[in-house]
Structure 1
Amino acid sequence: MTETPLLEIKDLRVGFRTDKKTVLTAVDGANLVIYPGQTIAIVGESGSGKSTMAHSVIDLLPGSGHVMGGQILFEGHEITHSDRKAVLALRGSSIGLVPQDPMSNLNPLWKVGRQIKEALVANGVATGDAADKRVVELLEEAGLPDAERRARQYPHEFSGGMRQRALIAMGLAARPKLLIADEPTSALDVTVQKQILDHLGTLTSTLGVAVMLITHDLGLAAERADHLVVMYRGKIVESGPAREILQDPQHPYTQRLVSKAPSIASQRLSSVQAREEVRVQAVQTAAEIAAEVAESQAALGEGRDDVLVAENLTKIFMLRGSKPWEKVEFAAVDDVSFRLRRGTTTAIVGESGSGKSTVARMVLDLLPPTSGQVIFDGKNLRELKSRSDRLRLRRQMQPVFQNPYASLDPLYSIYQSIEEPLRTHDIGTQKEREAKVRDLLDKVSLPTTVMSRFPGELSGGQRQRVAIARALALDPEVVICDEAVSALDVLVQAQILELLNDLQAELGLSYLFITHDLAVVRQIADDVLVMQNGKVVEASSVSAVFDHPTQEYTRRLLDAIPGGSISLGR
């Protein structure tokens, strides 16, 4: 590493204007230095200013954002208030960008190769046939097999990981000296994430490219960065070697991030630990009695210890073959069986396409199985024919979905959103329903003042709390959480997990928890099923799966957890 900085940010202040005045200071007095070939990770929750600071470097601030003060120097030259021509000359050729959401940043009407070629032409790297040839080379560098054919495909024909690789190819097309990677893998499964980051690391180190990695994942930051910068409310509150900060965080906010990060936390949440200790002690003192009860219940066909039983679930979809008239069978779920013990959490884990969400939809009776059955409280769901029986089932099983921004009607107030299931099932008077909504908001730690507000006025974490309150409105026995925390920042994610654990202890709820994140599983679940290609490849207690995985696929999932092997000082 040379002593001459590649990028210097000095006392940077960035704000956003309304028509009359600046109402928000997004970055407040930030100082940062990046040297050639260095990888720096900037971590912090949503709204901390990390992406705003990065985008100010290449003059891509959204809307009314503007630099209010300070300096940005690139290779010693002041670029803070450079004219547009000078900024455009830097973009791509000297400073590359890999944005967060590939679907929002790739043109759906253009083939992928054309979009990479555009980056080459715009930066004067190559034109014509030479550019076409270089596109294929870049896609091969990014790890895409059959790159020549892939270049002729559209973004919707790529998987999420493939689209991200295409964006990396575009970001590195002109061989920039600095690459800004803004949450480049946050929407990807851990195994795909590892492949992408390994490849990005190899490319950047081979080319000598410096990397500014924007992330909220401390484990990822610890593994991938030399230097760690922690941002909180627009300020840099801690900066230094990544491992040193994670081993001995000084600022209270950094300490909170480290303690709550699921990818580097070695223990489950305190509320779970306390509940687990009580449960283990009770099981030990009453083991013989429990065995006798279970045996007698099985003999009577009651199965009261298992609130939910899935037996040999299979779901086959008919897909279009290579010819228009051909139909091909695709087994999304293949002979899956499991039991959900009352008052516990069973997690179903796997990569995208493993079939876990299809299982959840069949359990919720939203999708009929091709074969197999789901038994809830001793009743076979396939035998529920009447509307009243299905309504009763809806009351007893409730979902919490992945995206808090899409799961609530934007035209309904928070009160209307939570009260709607009560009206649908004709429960209580208006006064009683209002009292119920107030009680539910209290349970999810939201003030009753939010009742008159709308989803657009709440944060992601607040919306997910509302979604949980709505799911609890009908006093269900089972809550099915389908990637319920994957879209949330680490601190908000920890709050929601702790809330779910506390509600389970208070209300005796049973959870079926669908996720691709094994780090989260360790904090929330008692039992776990690992799915691959529609099949269950491993099923056991969480401790057994983490400590003694029997399948190579499970070991790969565990190894892919960012920072999973890092031991912390606190």
Structure 2
Amino acid sequence: MTAVATERPLLQIRDLHIAFTSGKKDVPAVRGVDLTVYPGQTVAIVGESGSGKSTTAHAIIDLLPGTGHITGGSIEFDGVDLTSLSARKKRAYRGDRIGLVPQDPMSNLNPLYRVGTQIKEVLEVNDVARGKAADRRVVELLEEAGLGDAESRARQYPHEYSGGMRQRALIAAGLAARPQLLIADEPTSALDVTVQKQILDHLDGLTDELGVAVLLITHDLGLAAERADHLVVMYKGQVVESGPALQILQDPQHPYSQRLINSAPSLRSRRLMARERAEVRAEAAETALEHAEEVIGHGEGPESAGSPSSADAASADEFGGQVSAPVIRTTDLTKVFKLPGKGLAKRDFTAVDAVSFELARGTTTAIVGESGSGKSTVARMVLGLLEPTSGTVEFDGVDITTIRSRAQQLAFRRRVQPVFQNPYASLDPMYSIYRSIEEPLRLHGVGTGKERERKIRDLLDKVSLPAAVMSRYPNELSGGQRQRVAIARALALDPEVVVLDEAVSALDVLVQAQILKLLNDLQAELGLSYLFITHDLAVVRQIADQVLVMQQGRVVEQAGSLEVFDSPREEYTKRLLAAIPGRSVELAS
């Protein structure tokens, strides 16, 4: 979708300033933004969280949150300055001429109302259709959005839809009144890459067919590279670079644009990442073997602060495997859930089906696949949080499914630690950062109070956080800082294995790159072994040595990282790789 430059702009933003009131003062959030969208054009605004991209978009449709308000500049839509209109007249543009596809479909669809009812409301509010005509139009819109059996789907509630289906429903609602401009605010950030590609392909087709211009808000450079004609880069509330998408991606002028592009997993050089991984590989493996020898050798090696050799010895007494053997080995791991069937009957659902793999010390094995592939269920069984239906999980030669004593359980927990997807959900909001990190040390009886404090300071230093954050609470930290705290807590007990379940999927590209570098550095320094669960193959290329590709509970491909990316064997793996946003974009070397 490329606009003709001689056309009159559909949307023209000039010198826009937006502030939020805090106390009695205005705090600037957007400063002097200029932006132009032509009819039929796709423009992407990119930047990290807090850059002002969503605030700019919400100002267009008069949906600024809280105390947000425009303090200067103009927003002209089809020749009319929206900032000069009354609230009632602004509402006339919203939905009718400017549509919105918001980021989180679950919080933007009312769980108490049927999906069809909510789309019908859009039609009626914008005087598109009413009554039975509106009901028929709802079905047509859901069909347009790619939902099969649309008549039945219209009668369902949001919780009965998958994430991709909910996003399609929001697209149907956003395009219901046939707007001239569609604002898509991170429309696929929570979706798997294959579902994301389906949604965006369908959105492209619909907007192209209807001649709708699109303002795409995203932090994903790969997605912007693939979908947009024009790119606007925002940083700290200002536009730092603007121009044709490919031109900016191939020759970025601003240092921030350069950082964004260099950090985007799907746009980084494969050779560069392979070299970076090779540099830390030998060091990590060597450190891992040394650490295992210390633990299995009853803590005869040097002790870390607040980690007495007696605790290491107790752990080693329970797990005395061979140092050279894989630290984790699963054999025919299977999990069958009992789900409600007809009446009182139950039906079997096989979430994980005979999965076998090995995790060598000091290496990273990534398990990838779409939602529902079984990868997180495997992680929970490896962590001992879920009992397998059949098969074994061995840690240091001991089948953890046979562990019964509390001493064995504590020894296992000490040496295998998790980091989950959402650090805000996994950190108690009522606990200070100090207390959150201290908790595992206290529960395992590690060190005195002063020793634990020294340990926590050391851990925060390892994850590049200042000691001052100890007194703060999770809500006072950014997403990246919270994930660093979660990693510090996981390292508190000096584990050998860390299971990372979608640990970077909710983070902006720059923060994601920082966390991945941190994980690589910690692996080299501490000899950690990682089991990395993700749906993002672009991230896998940066961190994994071995890759397992899962589909519907089964491993369909298992090989080294380079082999999977350069010579995938299975059609499903090829589909996952092809769906990586920006993979097809050729950048200058």
Task: Answer whether TM exceeds 0.5 for this pair.
Answer: yes
Aligned to 1:430: 449
Distance in 2 (alpha carbons) for counterparts of 1:410 and 1:278: 37
- Range with greater deviation from structure 2 (377-386 or 108-117): 377-386
Distance in 1 (alpha carbons) for counterparts of 2:427 and 2:33: 36
1:311 paired to 2:331 = yes
Among 548, 559, 571, the alignment partner of 1:552 is 571
Q: In structure 2, give the amino acid aligned to 1:27.
A: V
Aligned to 1:12: 16
Distance in 2 (alpha carbons) for counterparts of 1:278 and 1:325: 57
Q: In structure 1, give the amino acid aligned to 2:430.
A: L
User: Partner of 1:80: helix, strand, or coil?
Assistant: helix
Among 455, 460, 483, the alignment partner of 2:502 is 483
Q: In structure 2, give the amino acid aligned to 1:235.
A: Q
Distance in 1 (alpha carbons) for counterparts of 2:571 and 2:396: 35
Distance in 1 (alpha carbons) for counterparts of 2:450 and 2:163: 47
Deviation at 1:266, TM superposition (A): 2.3
CA contact (8 A) 2:331 2:356 kept: yes
Q: Can you give the 5+ residue segments of structure 1 that lack an aligned partner in the other structure?
A: 283-299
Q: In structure 2, give the amino acid aligned to 1:352.
A: S
Aligned to 2:87: 84
Alignment of 1:78-477 (within 5 A): 78-267=81-270, 268=273, 271-276=276-281, 302=322, 304-321=324-341, 323-477=342-496
Distance in 1 (alpha carbons) for counterparts of 2:455 and 2:23: 42
Q: Aligned pair in 2 of structure 1 residues 302, 435: CA closer, same or farther (>3 Å)?
A: closer
Q: In structure 2, give the amino acid aligned to 1:458.
A: L
CA contact (8 A) 1:39 1:225 kept: yes
Q: Deviations over 1:150-189 (max 9, x none)?
A: 0000000000000000000000000000000000000000
**How many residues align structurally?**
551
Q: Aligned pair in 2 of structure 1 residues 269, 181: CA closer, same or farther (>3 Å)?
A: farther
CA contact (8 A) 1:303 1:378 kept: no
Q: In structure 1, give the amino acid aligned to 2:461.
A: D
Backbone CA RMSD of aligned residues? 1.5
Among 521, 530, 534, the alignment partner of 2:549 is 530
The alignment's TM-score, normalised by the length of structure 1, stands at 0.95
User: Partner of 1:519: helix, strand, or coil?
Assistant: helix
CA contact (8 A) 1:269 1:498 kept: no
Deviation at 1:251, TM superposition (A): 0.2
Q: Deviations over 1:7-36 (max 9, x none)?
A: 0000000000023111x2111000001000
Among 35, 39, 43, the alignment partner of 1:40 is 43
Aligned to 1:285: none
Distance in 1 (alpha carbons) for counterparts of 2:323 and 2:350: 29
User: Partner of 1:238: helix, strand, or coil?
Assistant: strand
User: Partner of 1:405: helix, strand, or coil?
Assistant: helix
Distance in 1 (alpha carbons) for counterparts of 2:552 and 2:136: 35
1:3 paired to 2:7 = yes
User: Partner of 1:406: helix, strand, or coil?
Assistant: helix
Deviation at 1:388, TM superposition (A): 0.9
Distance in 2 (alpha carbons) for counterparts of 1:234 and 1:198: 30
Q: Can you give the 5+ residue segments of structure 2 that lack an aligned partner in the other structure?
A: 288-319
User: Partner of 1:343: helix, strand, or coil?
Assistant: coil
Deviation at 1:405, TM superposition (A): 1.4
Deviation at 1:563, TM superposition (A): 0.5
Distance in 1 (alpha carbons) for counterparts of 2:538 and 2:281: 18
CA contact (8 A) 1:349 1:529 kept: yes
Q: Aligned pair in 2 of structure 1 residues 19, 55: CA closer, same or farther (>3 Å)?
A: same
Q: Aligned pair in 2 of structure 1 residues 421, 280: CA closer, same or farther (>3 Å)?
A: closer
Identity, in percent, stands at 70
Q: In structure 1, give the amino acid aligned to 2:332.
A: N
Distance in 2 (alpha carbons) for counterparts of 1:554 and 1:490: 23
Q: In structure 1, give the amino acid aligned to 2:324.
A: R
Q: Deviations over 1:385-438 (max 9, x none)?
A: 101100110000000000021111111111101111000000000000000000
Deviation at 1:543, TM superposition (A): 0.3
1:517 paired to 2:536 = yes
CA contact (8 A) 2:327 2:395 kept: yes
User: Partner of 2:425: helix, strand, or coil?
Assistant: coil
The alignment's TM-score, normalised by the length of structure 2, stands at 0.92
Deviation at 1:384, TM superposition (A): 1.2
Deviation at 1:278, TM superposition (A): 6.7
Deviation at 1:263, TM superposition (A): 1.4
CA contact (8 A) 2:116 2:138 kept: yes
Distance in 2 (alpha carbons) for counterparts of 1:93 and 1:324: 46
CA contact (8 A) 1:404 1:464 kept: yes
Q: Aligned pair in 2 of structure 1 residues 199, 132: CA closer, same or farther (>3 Å)?
A: same
Distance in 1 (alpha carbons) for counterparts of 2:283 and 2:528: 16
User: Partner of 2:327: helix, strand, or coil?
Assistant: strand
CA contact (8 A) 2:284 2:528 kept: no
Distance in 2 (alpha carbons) for counterparts of 1:487 and 1:501: 19
Distance in 1 (alpha carbons) for counterparts of 2:174 and 2:570: 37
Deviation at 1:270, TM superposition (A): 6.7
CA contact (8 A) 2:285 2:361 kept: no
Q: Aligned pair in 2 of structure 1 residues 401, 254: CA closer, same or farther (>3 Å)?
A: same
Deviation at 1:331, TM superposition (A): 0.1
Distance in 1 (alpha carbons) for counterparts of 2:183 and 2:562: 38
Q: In structure 2, give the amino acid aligned to 1:489.
A: D
